[in-house]
Amino acid sequence: MLDIKFVRENPDVVKENIKKKYQDEKLELVDKVIELDKKSRELKANGDNLRSERKKISDEIGMLFKNGKKEEAEMAKSKVTDINNQLVSMEEEEVELNKEIRKIMLTIPNIIDASVPIGKNDTENVEIEKFGDPVVPDYEIPYHADILEKMSGLDKESSGRTSGNGFYYLMGNAARLHSAMLTYARDYMINHGFTYCIPPFMIRSDVVSGVMSFTEMENMMYKIEGEDLYLIGTSEHSMIGRFKDQIIKESDLPINLTSYSPCFRKEVGAHGIEERGIYRVHQFEKQEMVVLCKPEDSMDWYNKMWKLTVDFFRSLEIPVRTLECCSGDLADLKVKSCDVEAWSPRQQKYFEVGSCSTLGDAQARRLGIRTKGENGTYYVHTLNNTVLASPRALIAFLENHYQKDGTITIPEALRPYMGGMSEIKTN
């Protein structure tokens, strides 16, 4: 969420940013919110004048009674009553105006970084760099569901009976491999100086609206019926929410955390839920990283964070690339974002396995997360990045380590988490 003062002083900048995000339907909101803000400030100024007048009259009433001017004192008391009634009405109007202002401000997109490429949607995202050689072997790589079935590792028929489409059972070595990758991701981040955390898997609506846009919320999150609780779509939500309405010591920054959680998503949209495989599902698990820092440090942290994910996948001998998200593909709160994509030798293309984003002070402003230093109090910057999300990472692992004879090799970094196994044999 932008500062209303910034919008008031820079309406053309805000409108140009809206155009860059191809959200022209929001252009009129800028003028509307500026007008509402003007009314709100006028009301406040008038209210302050009335309070000052009330205080002055109230101070006079005692003196009038003391001097025996009872009639004048009663007239003064009547004026105070009139002022009180006016203030009640004005304060109610001011509350409603501020609600409307906040509602609009929550829909106006954050100012994107100057380096973000301009484009309408994800088809116009820009490749930044490749890491590792995207090898296409001289033998066929089966579909990941077929590899898992060869391992006796996937049961979607049973999950269809228990839970419906979009769920799955992982079994045996497939389940072990899935857990091993997550545990390795946890230790990898701890070894890089991040504090490990397991957060709540449900959060209240005021936290939800603080970390994401309304559109994202409707398309992603499951609401608990009869409760003010939502299942998290990523642990970033509850990790950032942990600092809601807090003033953090500047000396404690940066705060760098890594969190494990299951994630739950509706996956509403044209892409739908995958019938047979496990690429797009309602439930998955993730190791995440979250950073709270000073504004001047946020871009450095952004670059450190996506590089950590790249290095993690390379340690698993999986080729990856980074993709710069264009303006139209950025969620409204994001300043800059890039995807990390893993190589699929079966499809001979890359697919998304993680995303790194800096959100400036947008989440902090919504949630009231500030820090206090020598130069006063200000909003922190927040960033988030996927270390590993499985089963997508599991798919990339299976495809890149599947051998001609059907075995799956285990890279050295993961072997301690697989009981020393160097390969998995399939049926």
Number of domains making up the chain: 2
Task: Give domain status of residue 114, yes or no.
Answer: no
* Domain harbouring 160, CATH code: 3.30.930.10
Task: Give domain status of residue 190, yes or no.
Answer: yes
Task: Give domain status of residue 115, yes or no.
Answer: no
Model pLDDT for residues 278-299, shown as the tens digit of each residue: 998 999 999 999 999 999 999 9
The helix/strand count (H/E) of the chain reads as 13, 18
101 and 162 both lie in a single domain: no
147-156 own/partner pairs: CB under 8 Å, 24+ apart? 147/398, 147/399, 147/402, 147/408, 147/426, 148/174, 148/278, 148/398, 150/406, 150/426, 150/427, 151/408, 151/424, 151/426, 151/427, 152/427, 154/278, 156/276, 156/278
281 and 183 both lie in a single domain: yes
Average of pLDDT values for 259-281?
79
- The widest CA-to-CA distance across the chain, in whole angstroms, is 108
Give the model's confidence band at 69: pLDDT under 50 very low, under 70 low, under 90 confident, else very high.
Answer: confident
Average of pLDDT values for 42-54?
90
335 and 254 both lie in a single domain: yes
Average of pLDDT values for 376-394?
96
Domain limits for position 146: 122-424
Task: Give domain status of residue 110, yes or no.
Answer: no
Residue 427 has pLDDT above 80, yes or no: no
What is the pLDDT, as a whole number, of residue 384?
A: 98
Determine the straight-line distance between the first and last CA of the chain, rounded to whole angstroms. 54
Question: Helix 172-191 crosses helix 298-315 at what angle (to 10 degrees)?
Answer: 140
Task: Give domain status of residue 117, yes or no.
Answer: no
SS (H, E, C) 362-385: HHHHHHCCEEEECCEEEECEEEEE
DSSP β-ladder status, 370-373 and 247-249: parallel
* Domain harbouring 75, CATH code: 1.10.287.40
Average of pLDDT values for 349-363?
96
What is the pLDDT, as a whole number, of residue 68?
A: 78
Residue 270 has pLDDT above 60, yes or no: no
87 and 145 both lie in a single domain: no
Provide the whole-model pTM. Answer: 0.90
Model pLDDT for residues 107-155, shown as the tens digit of each residue: 999 999 999 999 999 999 999 999 999 999 999 999 999 999 999 999 9
157 and 299 both lie in a single domain: yes
Give the model's confidence band at 71: pLDDT under 50 very low, under 70 low, under 90 confident, else very high.
Answer: confident
- b/e per residue, 41-67, with b = 16+ CB within 10 A? eebeeebeebeeebeebeeebeebeee
272 and 353 both lie in a single domain: yes
Give the model's confidence band at 272: pLDDT under 50 very low, under 70 low, under 90 confident, else very high.
Answer: low
Task: Please give the Cα distance from 130 to 354 (Å, whole number).
Answer: 15
